[in-house]
Structure 1
Amino acid sequence: YWDPEYVVKDTDVLALFRITPQPGVDPVEASAAVAGESSTATWTVVWTDLLTACDLYRAKAYKVDAVPNTNDQYFAYVAYDIDLFEEGSIANLTASIIGNVFGFKAVKALRLEDMRLPVAYLKTFQGPATGVIVERERMNMFGRPFLGATVKPKLGLSGKNYGRVVYEGLKGGLDFLKDDENINSQPFMRWKERYLYSIEGVNRAIAASGEVKGHYLNVTAATMEEMYERAEFGKALGSIIIMIDLVVGYTAIQTMAIWARKNDMILHLHRAGNSTYSRQKEHGMNFRVICKWMRMAGVDHIHAGTVVGKLEGDPLMIRGFYNTLLLSHLDVNLPQGIFFEQDW
Structure 2
Amino acid sequence: MNDRNTGATAKTGASQARVTATYDIESAKGVTHAAAVLAGEQSTGTFLRLAGETDALRDRSAARIEAVEVTGRSDHPALPVREAGASYERGRVTISWPLGTFGTSLPVLMATIAGNLFELAELSAARLVDLTLPADFARAHPGPKFGAAGTRAAMGGHNGPLIGTIIKPSVGLSPAETAELVRSMAAAGIDFIKDDELQADGPDCPLADRVAQVMAVLNDHAERSGKRVLYAFNISGEIDEMRRNLDLLERHGAACAMVCLNAVGLPGLRVVRDHTAMPIHGHRAGWGLFSRSPQVGIDFPVMQKLWRLAGADHLHVNGLASKFTEADLSVARSARAVQAPACDGEAPAMTAMPVFSSGQTVWQLGPSRQVLGNDDFIFCAGGGLIGHPDRAGAGVTAMRQAAEAARDGITLEEKAKTAPELARAMAHFPKPEIDARVFAG
- The reply to whether residue 29 of structure 1 matches residue 41 of structure 2 is no
Q: Which residue of 1 aligns with 2:133?
A: 117
Amino acid at match of 1:240: A
1:72 pairs, out of 74, 86, 89, with 89
SS of residue matched to 1:321? helix
Q: Which residue of 2 aligns with 1:290?
A: 303
Give the C-alpha shift of residue 3 in structure 1. 5.4
Contact 2:128 2:297 in 1 (8 A): yes
Q: Which residue of 1 aligns with 2:18?
A: 12
In 1: Cα distance, 2:119 partner to 2:283 partner = 27
Give the C-alpha shift of residue 295 in structure 1. 1.0
Give the C-alpha shift of residue 121 in structure 1. 2.9
In 2: Cα distance, 1:14 partner to 1:8 partner = 14
- The reply to whether residue 312 of structure 1 matches residue 325 of structure 2 is yes
In 2: Cα distance, 1:183 partner to 1:237 partner = 19
In 2: Cα distance, 1:210 partner to 1:111 partner = 49
Amino acid at match of 1:210: G
1:278 pairs, out of 273, 288, 291, with 291
Contact 2:9 2:62 in 1 (8 A): no
Give the C-alpha shift of residue 10 in structure 1. 7.5
In 1: Cα distance, 2:14 partner to 2:214 partner = 52
In 2: Cα distance, 1:276 partner to 1:83 partner = 31
Using the TM superposition, name which of 227-236 and 125-134 deviates more.
125-134
2:99 pairs, out of 77, 82, 87, with 82
Using the TM superposition, name which of 66-75 and 159-168 deviates more.
66-75
In structure 1, runs of 5+ residues without a counterpart are: 332-340
- The reply to whether residue 244 of structure 1 matches residue 248 of structure 2 is no
Give the C-alpha shift of residue 38 in structure 1. 1.0
SS of residue matched to 2:157? coil
TM-score normalised to the size of structure 2? 0.70
Contact 1:167 1:204 in 2 (8 A): no
Cα 1:9/1:308, change in 2 over 3 Å? farther
The aligned length equals 329
Cα 1:329/1:161, change in 2 over 3 Å? closer
1:93-138 residue CA offsets vs partner (Å, 9 max, x unmatched)? 1111112121111111211111000112331111112221111122
1:250-304 residue CA offsets vs partner (Å, 9 max, x unmatched)? 21111111112xxx21111110111111111110111111111111111111111
Q: Which residue of 1 aligns with 2:242?
A: 227
SS of residue matched to 2:21? strand
In 2: Cα distance, 1:52 partner to 1:6 partner = 11
1:258 pairs, out of 274, 279, 297, with 274
In 2: Cα distance, 1:69 partner to 1:306 partner = 33
Q: Which residue of 1 aligns with 2:46?
A: 42
1:182 pairs, out of 175, 191, 198, with 198
Contact 1:323 1:330 in 2 (8 A): no
The equivalences for 1:116-195 within 5 A come to 116-195=132-211
Contact 2:292 2:326 in 1 (8 A): no
1:196 pairs, out of 212, 231, 241, with 212
Amino acid at match of 2:288: S
In 2: Cα distance, 1:305 partner to 1:52 partner = 47
Higher RCO (CA 8 Å, separation ≥ 6 residues): 1
Give the C-alpha shift of residue 319 in structure 1. 2.5
SS of residue matched to 2:247? helix
Contact 1:241 1:266 in 2 (8 A): yes
1:148-195 residue CA offsets vs partner (Å, 9 max, x unmatched)? 111000101111001111111121121111111111122211111111
Contact 2:43 2:62 in 1 (8 A): yes
Give the C-alpha shift of residue 39 in structure 1. 1.2
Amino acid at match of 1:40: T
Contact 1:82 1:121 in 2 (8 A): no
SS of residue matched to 1:195? helix
Q: Which residue of 1 aligns with 2:340?
A: 327
Give the C-alpha shift of residue 343 in structure 1. 7.4
Amino acid at match of 1:76: V
In structure 2, runs of 5+ residues without a counterpart are: 1-6, 75-87, 350-441
Contact 1:12 1:81 in 2 (8 A): yes
Q: Which residue of 2 aligns with 1:338?
A: none
Cα 1:318/1:4, change in 2 over 3 Å? farther
1:2-28 residue CA offsets vs partner (Å, 9 max, x unmatched)? 55656585721000011111x2x0210
SS of residue matched to 2:54? helix
Q: Which residue of 2 aligns with 1:97?
A: 113
In 2: Cα distance, 1:283 partner to 1:294 partner = 20
C-alpha RMSD of the superposition: 2.5
Contact 1:171 1:208 in 2 (8 A): no
SS of residue matched to 2:336? helix
SS of residue matched to 1:35? helix
Amino acid at match of 2:266: Y
In 2: Cα distance, 1:178 partner to 1:69 partner = 46
Which structure would you say has the larger Rg? 2
Give the C-alpha shift of residue 316 in structure 1. 3.1
SS of residue matched to 1:284? strand
Give the C-alpha shift of residue 144 in structure 1. 0.6
